Amino acid sequence: MVWLILGLALWIGAHVFKRFAPQVRAEMGERGKLLIAVVLVLSVVLMVVGYRGADFVPIYTPLPGMGHVNNTLMLVSLFLFGLGGTKGTLYPKIRHPMLWGVVVWAVAHLLVNGDLASLVLFGIMGLWAVVEMLLINRSEVWVRPTNGRGVKGDAMNLVGTVVLLAVIAMVHQWLGHPVFLGTYS
Q: 3-state SS string over 83-149?
A: HHHHCCCCCCCCCCHHHHHHHHHHHHHHHHCCEHHHHHHHHHHHHHHHHHHHHHHHHCCCCCCCCCC
Report the percent of the chain where pLDDT is more than 70.
97
Residue 143 clears pLDDT 80, i.e. is over it: yes
172 compared with 7, residue with greater pLDDT: 7
What separation in angstroms does the CA of 62 have from each of 97, 104, 121, 141? 27, 17, 16, 40
Mean pLDDT in residue range 82-87 = 87
Confidence band (pLDDT; 50, 70, 90) for 182? Answer: low
Taking the model in full, what pTM does it have? 0.90
pLDDT of 176 > 80? The answer is: yes
| Other Cβ atoms within 10 Å of 32 Cβ, number | 15
Q: What mean pLDDT is reported for the chain?
A: 91
- Please say if the pLDDT value at position 165 is more than 70: yes
What are the extents of the domains in the chain?
Answer: 1-54, 58-185
Mean pLDDT of 46-61: 96
Kindly report the CA angle at 43 between 157 and 162, in degrees rounded to 5? 20
Provide the 10 A C-beta neighbour count for residue 61: 8
End-to-end CA gap in the chain: 22
Give pLDDT, residue 163: 96
Q: What was the pLDDT predicted at 183?
A: 56
Mean pLDDT calculated for residue range 58-80:
94
Highest mean pLDDT among 3-12, 30-39, 57-66, 130-139: 3-12
**Dist CA 37 CA 41 (whole Å):** 6
